[in-house]
Amino acid sequence: MTKKTIGFIGTGVMGKSMAKNLMEAGYSLNVFTRTKEKASDLLEAGAEWKEDTASLAQASDVIITIVGYPKDVEEIYFGEDGLLHNAKQGSYVIDMTTSSPKLAEKIYNKAKEAGIHAYDAPVSGGDVGARNAALTIMVGGEEGLFEEVLPIFEVMGENIVLQGEAGAGQHTKMSNQIAIASGMMGVTEAVLYAEEAGLDPKKVLKSISFGAAGSWSLSNLAPRMIDQNFDPGFYVKHFIKDMQIAIDAAEEMNVPVPGLKLAKQLYDQLSEAGGANKGTQALYTYYKHMMAES
């Protein structure tokens, strides 16, 4: 694909870095977000501000969205001011939000009716992966057009796989979140155990991060737990949203997910205690609270 104009909606913890990487790769960028101030860095770097989704769609060849919740995706894509009513025929819409597989299929079908090409492409790798252009990108959509959008994905990520038709990217992301959910409990418990045993937890990580227990969460989030750094690389509230989508999809397929349900229960309690806007590594604080009460 030649370097066409990209419209970008969603400049949060990950989206801002992803958009910045696209600009640095030479793409012209149109930006819209509910709070203009969140896009100030991008605007200062040369991105063009659009007042609404309709004007952004009309001025862009490829539109990327990465927002909070499926309801936000619905609002952005459908309705009179939505992307699918305003995007140019032959343009591309790529939703990189972690959202519902069924919604991804709906977007694809409505886009096809309008002569628009749609992909669902949720990501994994958190703030660090977004900043370093090292995200894992899980894609659902037409195989025949995938090579057209692949260069854009390659600016933002390193591990890019077309998983199947529309919705396949979101189903893959659900598998990812299911694996992380139970893993986060294990990471938290491992750090706490090391501390209570009187060990230096950072020294413990030097051993277990490279053994059979190794994982992205252990290498990247356990050090934040130890340093009492609970700033969001990925919000608790968004992880809870992802887990609920996965639970709903699993139940429809009659797949048992007891580990996922337990993890969501713990994160729900963390959120209710004021942790919704913290990073997922803040599960550590909930465990510490339980230990203090026992």
**Of 63, 70, 160, which Cα lies nearest the Cα of 118?**
63
The residue from 16, 173, 241, 278 that is catalytic is 173
Q: Which residues pair with 94 in a beta bridge?
A: 64, 119
* Cα 76 from Cα 83, distance rounded (Å): 6
Task: Provide Rg for the chain, Cα atoms.
Answer: 20
- What is the helix (H) or strand (E) element at residue 160, kind and residue range? strand 157-164
Give catalytic status of residue 202 as yes or no. no
* Cα 92 from Cα 113, distance rounded (Å): 13
Tell me how far CA of residue 141 lies from CA of 93, 172, 203, 237, 250, in angstroms.
11, 13, 44, 28, 21
Pairing of strands 123-124, 135-140: antiparallel
| Residues tagged active-site | 173
